[in-house]
Structures are given as structure tokens and as C-alpha cells.
């Protein structure tokens, strides 16, 4: 069974960036989209992130992620002007103001914020191996057991997605005759099969963990570790510099 | 005299009663002793309690499942009931039947290292052992690969690497041969012999490898253990054949009778490529499948067997070529929706399609969707229950054994009256007898069968025709009598 995975192997700048730096920068970028500042910042950052994703992961990947957010963006574009009617009228139908300057600005702000955040998270999760993420979270102080739960979750989410696909195919072939079923009629049997599969996995997973020593009271060692010493200092210095660059436009605008 | 690594006496076990049913007895007064530095094998059909026994010996059952366990046992010098499994990492190592149940990390090297991390082994030693263990099973180039993307055989090899890294005193291997090809089966045995490592194998099928290098062979059947050979003596093949664990000598012995087969489905110039540059592509020039005929599709892992099967039932839409279905005297190009309705595809895992609370509901579902009257449905369901040896209609499938769930899966497709059925490695985990019985029941309705399998011997024994696929192309299509397994063909059983 082919199982999808969030991580896309590669050797781009994003791939080579220290995982801790990536997580810190992700938080910083996310914060920037919510800070008060000039209107051009959010669209500019979004364009920059789009270019980064395109250059590091490929423009096909960029197209895929943008296509995925289009429905949400469409809803924002349709509904936001209805609730923001201040400023000059740009489009009107008879006496009804359909689009105003305030409405347009709000649409741009929300579209930029949503697209930018999506691209930022996408860039990090596509270039960060989940083991590295867990080690990084442990470096930030996350307890081992919580980190292990995260690893297992990241291992099983794609697996369950694969089970969902196989179950959907099995049910499609089985129920291809007779009347056409609605969304719930098609989805519920598949979800039930996936839930049964997931529940069956729980005791097996507990057994698998325990026979590999999970639960022992003696201290564990770690097979994988993150760079330390000079490389860590360099990574932190780079992170600090990039964070300063991110925040600089907001400071200058004050 | 060296102490036995495994000794059990009068072992009796039953699972707890569920939903007002009586407790499910699995083992009854079993006794067994494995000599030091020897390998033993316990054979048995599906649902005879092999996995339960393996997990009892590892201290996992009844700890995680509940149930009543009686009798005495010493495994690697301890009673597994008195120690937690996490304290037995260095004494007992287990490989599960289903590798997906046991793998839980997202990289091969961290999977191998996990138990060593638990033991507190220093990093340098871990790195050396991980590299050596992965090399031992031919996975040196897979260190950073996500285990979820490995094939079934590669996952089994990864789990063997996990054991090799820790090197426990006793290896318990549950159906480990099922997805390994002959080369890796031999390599595993050589490893155990070289290390003089005691090991207990559990399997639902006989393989000639068990005749050499194994000191003790037993059969688990009807809750009892019967010796097949002791001290490396020649095994009692009659007993194995009686239990359906061994294929009869003559090729074609399990094959349904030949008949006047009508051509049913034709493939011309089929081409399918997975997305991505350089990804796998399937190219089938021509192929014809007939009603009532049993065709085996064999090939190595990743050769395109499942891809071809999914294209034939319309789950994958080819980029080029045609798939035609017979309509009266002529063949007509079939759309994916028409293929969905005419060709069934049985997945290896029966649980992908089972979701209703009772056997009756599962069997009746497709018939109801087709608008068939209730009284007709009842009669056809009862007939299917008889034909596929299914439990009463009010039985919840979730409480049924693996073999029974496979029979239920086959029965649902049989009731739907598909003209062609594709069976994707559904022989896995079933004894030869169980599988042949399933094939007979399916063929009795006149459907054509395309059987996807790794087991070349099974293909010879059961199919009328064998199709060999390699790197997405059909390289051979011949009557089963003329088919001899090619060198390196996985799963040569006899």
C-alpha cells in the first residue's frame, strides 16, 4: 500500500536549515501576519513565501498548495465585502454598495494572511522530517512521552489515510450497483471501516512499544541528535537575524 | 546439559467471553520443549491459536487482551507472566505476523535503534549495531526511508534487523516467511544457525526449509499440539497434508476442473504511469481473461501485479489502451464505472470492506442496493453462509476470526455475481486447504478468477494459467503445467 508522507526529501536551503530555526521562524512569521503595521507587509510576505516554496520545493508544489486554498479564498472574497462597507464605493448595483475601498483592503489582508500562513506551515512541514521535529520539540523542553506520542501520531495519520483510500475503493466496488448514494451513504461505511481498523491497532501498538522496552524506568539514550556547539550557535544567530529582518518593517513603520 | 530456552507444560488459554458468548478456548493442555540452540516450528491453519501462543510466550497475552491462562512455562529462564515485556527486551524478541502492527517510527534507522535506546546503549555502539543490522537484511540504503513506504517483505526484514540489533536470547517469529522470498528466508535461517540462536517459528504453511535446520516441528490444531518431527527426523508429511498445511505432491491437485471457458475481458495496449518523473509504469500489450478460469498473476514485489489488478476493475484509469468486456458476442470498450460493476477486487485485508454489525447485514447489503426482494435476499444469504462455512447470521464480524472474515469477504463478492474476481494476495495467512476451499466456492458460481500471489507453488497447484509480470510488463503467459518458477521467484514453497 502506498502511504503518503508529509516530508518531501530534498537538498534546498529550507531542507538544510536547522529544524529548531525552522520552528522558531515559523512562529515569528505567523506572528507577523497578526501584528499591526503597513498594509503592504502581509501581501509582500505572502509573495516572498510563495517564491520560497516555489524555488525550494518546486512550482508544481506551489500550485498544489494554492489550489487547495482556493475554495477558502473564494469564500473570503465573497463574504468579506458584505461586512466591510466603509470607505469609497468601488462597485455598486443600483443603490447597493457591493465593494468599497475598506472591503477591498480587508479582503487583501485576510487573503494574504490565510495564504501566507498556509505557505509557511507547508514550507516547514514539507521540509522537516518528523523525527527531527520531535527531537527539536524535545530540545525546547517537551517531555519524551509527549514527543513519542507526536511521532506515533505522525506515523499513523498517513497510514490511516492509506487505509481510508483502500476502504473507499473496496466500498466503491462493492456498492457500484443499484441506486446512487448520497455523501453520507458513501462516506459512513468507509469511516466505520477506518475506525474499526484504528481501534484494532491500539492494543497491537501498545504491545509493540512494550516489547521494545518502552516503559522501562532506566534512563534512555538517543540515537539521533541535533547539531550542537558552533553549528548550534550559528543556527541561533541566523535565526535571530532573520527574525530581526521580519520585524524590522513593523518597527520602522512606528 | 544446557537449559532449554523454552519449556511449556499443560498450557491452557481461553479469551474472555464477549457479548454473552462463552469464553473462546484457544489452547488446551499444550506441552512443548525447545532444545538449546535449536529452532522449532509450530504449524497450523488460520485461527488455531499460533499468534496467541507466540504472544503468550512473549508475555503480551493475557496482559494486553485478558483471558484465562493456566499451566507452567519457562521462556529464556523466566515465566513471562512474572516479568513485564519491557524487562525482557534482551531475552525474548518477537516479530509480529502483521508488520504494520509493529512498526511505529518514521525512519528505518530509528526503528532499529528504538529498543537499544530503551536499554540505554551508548550512541556509538547503537550507530554500529544499526548499520550492521540493516546491512544484514539488505536495507543499508534505506536508513532514512519511512518504513510505511516499504514493501511487505522489506518491512519483515526491517523487523528482523530490529531483533538482530538487540540479539535477544530467544527469537519468536510469527509468519515471518510469508512475505519473504526464498533468498531472505535462507539468509534468516543462516543467521540463526551461525549465531546458534534458539528460535520458534509460527507458520500456516509448510516450506521445505523446515525439513532442514529445524529440530522440532509441531502442528497446532483444535487447541492441541501434535508433534510432526522431533530431533530433526523426517516430518510426517501425511499429517501436514491432512491438516491442509502442505500442498499435495502433484501440481494442479487443487485446481478446479477445466470447462468451456468464454472470453470475458480483453486488454489491448494498456499503459498506466504513476505521477512523477521516472515513476513506475505498467505496459500490457494484450491479455484475455475468461469466465470460470483460474489465472494466477505472479511476480516480485513492485512488479505491477496490484496496479494491473486495479486497472482491470476500474480503480485506476489507464492513460492509454483499452479494456473491453464481452457483451453478447462482441467485446465493447468498458468505462471505469462498467468495470466497477463487472469486476470485483478482494483486498488482502478483509476489514477494508467489513463495517456492519452482523454477518447477515454484511451479506445482504449489496443485494439490497441492487433492489432484490427481501425473501430472495434471505435465501441467497443462507446459501452463501453454507457455501463459505460462515457462522450464524447474527454473529458480529468484529468477533470473528481472520479466516472467517476472509470467507465473509469472499461471500459478499460471490453474492454480487461479479463476472471476474481479482484476489489480491488473499492467500496470506491462510493454510493451503482453507484457500483452496475458498477458490472452489468462488469458482462454483462461474466467475473467472485472477489470483495475485507471491507463491509460485500455489499458483502451479491451483491455477489453470499462470501470468508472470516483471517491471510492469507481462513476460510470460502459459498453462500452469508448463510453468516452472523462475530463479528468484518469490515464495517458492515446495
Show the cell assigned to B384: 452463501
- H or E stretch covering B71: strand B68-75
Question: B-chain residues within 8 Å CB-CB of A209?
Answer: 104
Residue ranges of chain A whose pLDDT lies below 50: 1-4
In chain A, the number of structural domains is 2
Q: In this predicted model, what pLDDT tens digit does every residue of B259-274 receive, in sequence order?
A: 667 899 999 999 998 7
Res B493 pLDDT > 60: no
Question: B-chain residues within 8 Å CB-CB of A163?
Answer: 352
Looking at the predicted complex, does its ipTM rise above 0.90? no
Q: Give yes or no: residues A31 and A87 share one domain.
A: yes
Q: Give yes or no: residues A184 and A250 share one domain.
A: no
- Entry pTM: 0.80
Of the candidates B173, A85, B214, the one whose C-alpha atom is nearest the C-alpha of residue B157 is B173
Of the candidates B66, B136, B49, B59, the one whose C-alpha atom is nearest the C-alpha of residue B94 is B59
Chain A to chain B, count of Cβ pairs less than 8 Å apart?
Answer: 183
Res B7 pLDDT > 70: yes
When the pLDDT of each residue in chain B is averaged and rounded to a whole number, the result is: 87
Q: Give yes or no: residues A8 and A111 share one domain.
A: yes
Question: B-chain residues within 8 Å CB-CB of A162?
Answer: 148
Q: Give yes or no: residues A49 and A94 share one domain.
A: yes
CA–CA separation, A187 and A168 (whole Å): 8
For residue A197, is it within any domain? yes
Residue to test with chain B: of A174, A196, A203, most B Cβ within 10 A: A174
Q: Do A223 and B85 touch (CB under 8 A)?
A: no
For residue A133, is it within any domain? no
**Number of other residues whose CB lies within 10 A of the CB of residue A86:** 11
As a whole-number percent, the residues of chain B with pLDDT over 70 amount to 93
Exposed/middle/buried for residue B205 (C-beta within 10 Å: 0-12, 13-18, 19+): buried
**DSSP-derived secondary structure for B158-212:** HHHHHHHHH--SEEEEESTTTT--HHHHHHHHHHHHHTT--EEEEESS--GGGGS
Task: Please tell me the predicted confidence (pLDDT) of residue B158.
Answer: 96
Q: In this predicted model, what pLDDT tens digit does every residue of B24-54 receive, in sequence order?
A: 789 999 999 998 889 999 999 888 899 999 9
Cell 510466550 found at: B57
Q: Give yes or no: residues A7 and A107 share one domain.
A: yes
Task: Please tell me the predicted confidence (pLDDT) of residue B257.
Answer: 63
Q: Give yes or no: residues A193 and A249 share one domain.
A: no
Q: Give yes or no: residues A124 and A246 share one domain.
A: yes
For residue A209, is it within any domain? yes
Q: Give yes or no: residues A35 and A69 share one domain.
A: yes
For residue A35, is it within any domain? yes
Domain that holds residue A47: 1-128+227-254
Kindly report the backbone phi and psi dihedral angles of residue B364, in degrees, each rounded to the nearest multiple of 5, phi listed first: -80, -20
Query: Edge-to-edge strands of the sheet including B473-479?
Result: B343-346, B420-424, B448-453, B294-298, B465-470, B473-479
Cα nearest neighbour of A199 on chain B: B398
The DSSP 8-state label assigned to residue B454 in this structure reads S
For residue A164, is it within any domain? yes
Least confident of A169-178, B191-200, B297-306: A169-178
Q: Do A210 and B60 touch (CB under 8 A)?
A: yes
For residue A152, is it within any domain? yes
Q: Give yes or no: residues A92 and A171 share one domain.
A: no
For residue A137, is it within any domain? no
User: Which residue in A196, A210, A219 is closest to B351 by CB distance?
Assistant: A196
Question: A-chain residues within 8 Å CB-CB of B94?
Answer: 211
Q: Give yes or no: residues A64 and A189 share one domain.
A: no
Q: Give yes or no: residues A123 and A55 share one domain.
A: yes
Q: Give yes or no: residues A33 and A5 share one domain.
A: yes
Q: Do A170 and B353 touch (CB under 8 A)?
A: yes
Q: In this predicted model, what pLDDT tens digit does every residue of B440-488 receive, in sequence order?
A: 888 888 889 999 987 777 888 889 999 999 889 999 998 887 776 544 4
Dihedral angle over CA of B79, B83, B89, B93, nearest 10: 40
B302 against B273, higher pLDDT: B273
Show the cell assigned to A138: 524535545
Amino acid at each position: 500500500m502506498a502511504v503518503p508522507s508529509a516530508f518531501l526529501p530534498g537538498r534546498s536551503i529550507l531542507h538544510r536549515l536547522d529544524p529548531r530555526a525552522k520552528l522558531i521562524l515559523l512562529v515569528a512569521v505567523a506572528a507577523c501576519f497578526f501584528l499591526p503595521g503597513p498594509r503592504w507587509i502581509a501581501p509582500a510576505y505572502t509573495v516572498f513565501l510563495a517564491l520560497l516554496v516555489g524555488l525550494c520545493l518546486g512550482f508544481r508544489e506551489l500550485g498544489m498548495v494554492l489550489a487547495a486554498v482556493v475554495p477558502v479564498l473564494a469564500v473570503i472574497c465573497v463574504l468579506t465585502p458584505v461586512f466591510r462597507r466603509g470607505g469609497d464605493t468601488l462597485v455598486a448595483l443600483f443603490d447597493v454598495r457591493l465593494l468599497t475601498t475598506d472591503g477591498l483592503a480587508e479582503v487583501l489582508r485576510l487573503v494574504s494572511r490565510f495564504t501566507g500562513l498556509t505557505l509557511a506551515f507547508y514550507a516547514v512541514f514539507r521540509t522537516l522530517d518528523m523525527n527531527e521535529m520531535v527531537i527539536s520539540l524535545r530540545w525546547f523542553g517537551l517531555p519524551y512521552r509527549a514527543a513519542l506520542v507526536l511521532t506515533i501520531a505522525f506515523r499513523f495519520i498517513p497510514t490511516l489515510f492509506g487505509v481510508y483510500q483502500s476502504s473507499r475503493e473496496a466500498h466503491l466496488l462493492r456498492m457500484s450497483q443499484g441506486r446512487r448514494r448520497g455523501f453520507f451513504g458513501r462516506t459512513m461505511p468507509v469511516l466505520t471501516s477506518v475506525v474499526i481498523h484504528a481501534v484494532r491497532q491500539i492494543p497491537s501498538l501498545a504491545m509493540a512499544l512494550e516489547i521494545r522496552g518502552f516503559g522501562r524506568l532506566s534512563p534512555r539514550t538517543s540515537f539521533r541528535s541535533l547539531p550542537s556547539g558552533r553549528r548550534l550557535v550559528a543556527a541561533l544567530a541566523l535565526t535571530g537575524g532573520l527574525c530581526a529582518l521580519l520585524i524590522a518593517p513593523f518597527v520602522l513603520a512606528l | 546439559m544446557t537449559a532449554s530456552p523454552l519449556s511449556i507444560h499443560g498450557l491452557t488459554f481461553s479469551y474472555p467471553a464477549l457479548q454473552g458468548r462463552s469464553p473462546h478456548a484457544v489452547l488446551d493442555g499444550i506441552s512443548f520443549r525447545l532444545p538449546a540452540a535449536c529452532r522449532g516450528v509450530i504449524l497450523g491453519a488460520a485461527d488455531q491459536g499460533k499468534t496467541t501462543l507466540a504472544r503468550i510466550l512473549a508475555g503480551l497475552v493475557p496482559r494486553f487482551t485478558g483471558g484465562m491462562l493456566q499451566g507452567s512455562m519457562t521462556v529464556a529462564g523466566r515465566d513471562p507472566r512474572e516479568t513485564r515485556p519491557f524487562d525482557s527486551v534482551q531475552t525474548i524478541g518477537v516479530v509480529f505476523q502483521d508488520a504494520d502492527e509493529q512498526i511505529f517510527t518514521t525512519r528505518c534507522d530509528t526503528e532499529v535503534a528504538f529498543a537499544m535506546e530503551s536499554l540505554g546503549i551508548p550512541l556509538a555502539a547503537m550507530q554500529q549495531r544499526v548499520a550492521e543490522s540493516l546491512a544484514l537484511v539488505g536495507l543499508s540504503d534505506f536508513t532514512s526511508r519511512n518504513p510505511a513506504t516499504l514493501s511487505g517483505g522489506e518491512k519483515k526484514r526491517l523487523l528482523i534487523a530490529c531483533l538482530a540489533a538487540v540479539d535477544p536470547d530467544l527469537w519468536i517469529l510469527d509468519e515471518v516467511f510469508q512475505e519473504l522470498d526464498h533468498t531472505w528466508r535462507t539468509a534468516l535461517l543462516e543467521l540463526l544457525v551461525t549465531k546458534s540462536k534458539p528460535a520458534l517459528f509460527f507458520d500456516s504453511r509448510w516450506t521445505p526449509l523446515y525439513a532442514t535446520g529445524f529440530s522440532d516441528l509441531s502442528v497446532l490444531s483444535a487447541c492441541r499440539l501434535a508433534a510432526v518431527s522431533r530431533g530433526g527426523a523426517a516430518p510426517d508429511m501425511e499429517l501436514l497434508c491432512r491438516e491442509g498445511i502442505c500442498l499435495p505432491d502433484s501440481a494442479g491437485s487443487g485446481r478446479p476442473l477445466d470447462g468451456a471457458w468464454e472470453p470475458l475481458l480483453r486488454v489491448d495496449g494498456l499503459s498506466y504511469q504513476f505521477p512523477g518523473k521516472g515513476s513506475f509504469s505498467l505496459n500490457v500489450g494484450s491479455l484475455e481473461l475468461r469466465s470460470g478460469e483460474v489465472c494466477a498473476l505472479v511476480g516480485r514485489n513492485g512488479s505491477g501485479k496490484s496496479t494491473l489488478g486495479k486497472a482491470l476493475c476500474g480503480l485506476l484509469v489507464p492513460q492509454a489502451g483499452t479494456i473491453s468486456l464481452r457483451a453478447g458476442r462482441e467485446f465493447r470498450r468498458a468505462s471505469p464505472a462498467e468495470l466497477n460493476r463487472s469486476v470485483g477486487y478482494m483486498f488482502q485485508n478483509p476489514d477494508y470492506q467489513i463495517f456492519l454489525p452482523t454477518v447477515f447485514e454484511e451479506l445482504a447489503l449489496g443485494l439490497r442496493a441492487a433492489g432484490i426482494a427481501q425473501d430472495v435476499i434471505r435465501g441467497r444469504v443462507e446459501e452463501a453462509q453454507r457455501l463459505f462455512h460462515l457462522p450464524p447470521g447474527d454473529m458480529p464480524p468484529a468477533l470473528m476470526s481472520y479466516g472467517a472474515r476472509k470467507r465473509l469477504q469472499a461471500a459478499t463478492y460471490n453474492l454480487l455475481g461479479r463476472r471476474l474476481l481479482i484476489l489480491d494476495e488473499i492467500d496470506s495467512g491462510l493454510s493451503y486447504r482453507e484457500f483452496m476451499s475458498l477458490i472452489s466456492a468462488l469458482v462454483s458460481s462461474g466467475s473467472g478468477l485472477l489470483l495475485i500471489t507471491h507463491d509460485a507453488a500455489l499458483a502451479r497447484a491451483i491455477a489453470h494459467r499462470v501470468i508472470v509480470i516483471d517491471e510492469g510488463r507481462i513476460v510470460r503467459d502459459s498453462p500452469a503445467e508448463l510453468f516452472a518458477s523462475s530463479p528468484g521467484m518469490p515464495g517458492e514453497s515446495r
